[in-house]
């Protein structure tokens, strides 16, 4: 806390703003104090070169990378009334990814020039995060530092969004949802050691809570994830994960299907509680792709949940096990 307070004081002084206007985010090895001498030097050197430009935005996206292999950035432009409004976002994250933010290590920063009442902005961000960052997993570990921050300055000069009935709120929400979901997917695709990206649809649940419990059990199962690494559909492991989840499940009516990304053509490996008459080779043609969808229908209700997940590879283990004789190799 003392280090965090020092960071806010240094930044506030360097930018001539109040300490209450500074927000602190952190990433690194858990339990090890920040190298404050380096942090202080970085703040002093970066503050004078802050400017409104694409180059600076990209340099910031690069500066926050740790085990990431590429920048994660996106921007959109749309209209509210007769005003052009912009939203831009950057984030970082590759390991320790299963965010659970009420309001991802994963850090996300989103800015907009929209004119909007602050409580509505907070609510809009909560909705967007719930549908995006809170639905991804690489390794099932939630970081100690997951954060998503959004700032808006009102310079678009649109008619201010001041109530849930305000014109433009739906347009703004849709744009923000898109920004957050695309950034979240970038994190999974760039996850440590990741070789496959999976969109997991769980439908037919008795409740949303059951649908989420089922999806998270499947998406975080080490056995399921390693089978994905090998391109093995292995619906048996998926059923196993369903069985130990807290979801209400009747295995005699469950369906498990596979599809190419976004395709409506689903090949079922397991249908109504019985193995389908499909060869492993046919299913394997789908699951050997870099990206594919899995559809699980519990056939117990109308609730559903979507998660975006990755496989678990040898490279993930090699990257994260570290070597105590080489402190630089040790992760967070």
Here the tokens at position 29 are: 């090895």
d(CA 6, CA 24): 10
Q: Report the DSSP pairing between strands 197-205 and 267-271.
A: unpaired
d(CA 55, CA 235): 47
Q: Is the dihedral of CA 254, 226, 148, 144 positive or negative?
A: positive
Question: Which ranges constitute the DSSP H helices of the chain?
Answer: 2-15, 36-46, 54-63, 118-130, 169-189, 208-220, 222-229, 235-244, 280-287, 314-321
Here the tokens at position 201 are: 């649809």
Q: Could you state, in order of their start, the residue ranges of all structural domains in the chain? A: 1-15+24-49, 51-189, 197-312
Domain 51-189 - what CATH class?
alpha beta
Q: Is 192 exposed, middle or buried (0-12, 13-18, 19+ CB in 10 A)?
A: buried
What was the pLDDT predicted at 26? 86
Q: Which of 234, 240, 254, 241 is nearest to 215 (CA)?
A: 241
Q: How far is CA 58 from CA 23, 47, 50, 71, 74, in A?
A: 20, 16, 12, 8, 10
Per-residue pLDDT of the chain (332 residues; tens, 9 = 90+): 999 999 999 999 999 999 999 999 988 778 888 899 999 999 999 998 887 788 888 999 999 888 888 999 999 999 999 999 999 999 998 766 566 654 446 799 999 999 999 999 999 999 999 999 999 998 887 777 889 999 999 999 999 999 998 889 999 999 999 999 999 999 999 988 899 999 999 999 999 999 999 999 999 999 999 999 999 999 999 999 999 999 999 999 999 999 999 999 999 999 999 999 899 999 999 999 999 999 999 999 999 999 999 999 999 888 888 777 776 666 66
What was the pLDDT predicted at 249? 97
Interacting residues of 163 by C-beta distance below 8 A, sequence separation 6+: 117, 120
Q: List the catalytic residues.
A: 105
What was the pLDDT predicted at 53? 81
Answering whether pTM is above 0.95, one says: no
Q: Report the DSSP pairing between strands 107-112 and 83-92.
A: antiparallel
The CATH code for residues 197-312 is: 3.10.20.340
Query: Counting every residue, how long is the chain?
Result: 332
């Amino acid at each position: 806390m003392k280090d965090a307070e020092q960071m806010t004081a240094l930044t506030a002084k360097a930018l001539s703003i109040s300490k209450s206007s500074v927000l602190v985010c952190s990433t690194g090895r858990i339990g090890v104090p920040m190298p404050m001498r380096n942090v202080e030097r970085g703040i002093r050197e970066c503050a004078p070169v802050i400017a409104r430009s694409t180059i600076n935005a990209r340099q910031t996206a690069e500066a926050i990378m740790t085990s990431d292999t590429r920048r994660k950035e996106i921007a959109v432009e749309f209209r509210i009334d007769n005003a052009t409004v912009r939203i831009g976002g950057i984030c970082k994250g590759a390991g320790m990814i299963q965010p659970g933010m009420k309001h991802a290590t994963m850090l996300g920063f989103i800015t907009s020039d929209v004119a909007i009442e602050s409580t509505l902005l907070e609510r809009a961000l909560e909705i967007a995060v719930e549908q995006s960052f809170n639905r991804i997993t690489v390794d099932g570990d939630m970081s100690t530092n997951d954060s998503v921050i959004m700032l808006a300055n009102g310079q678009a000069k649109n008619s201010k969004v001041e109530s849930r009935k305000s014109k433009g709120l739906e347009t703004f929400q849709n744009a923000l949802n898109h920004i957050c979901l695309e950034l979240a997917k970038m994190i999974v695709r760039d996850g440590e050691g990741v070789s496959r990206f999976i969109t997991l649809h769980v439908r037919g649940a008795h409740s949303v809570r059951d649908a989420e419990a089922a999806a998270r059990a499947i998406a975080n199962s080490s056995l399921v994830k390693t089978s994905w690494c090998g391109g093995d559909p292995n619906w048996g492991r998926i059923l196993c994960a369903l069985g130990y989840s807290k979801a209400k499940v009747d295995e005699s009516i469950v369906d498990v299907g596979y599809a190419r990304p976004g395709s409506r053509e689903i090949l079922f490996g397991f249908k109504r509680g019985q193995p389908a008459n499909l060869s492993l080779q046919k299913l394997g043609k789908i699951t050997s792709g870099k990206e594919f969808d899995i559809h699980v229908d519990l056939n117990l209700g109308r609730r559903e949940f979507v998660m975006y997940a990755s496989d678990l590879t040898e490279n993930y283990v090699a990257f994260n096990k570290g070597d105590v004789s080489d402190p630089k190799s040790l992760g967070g």
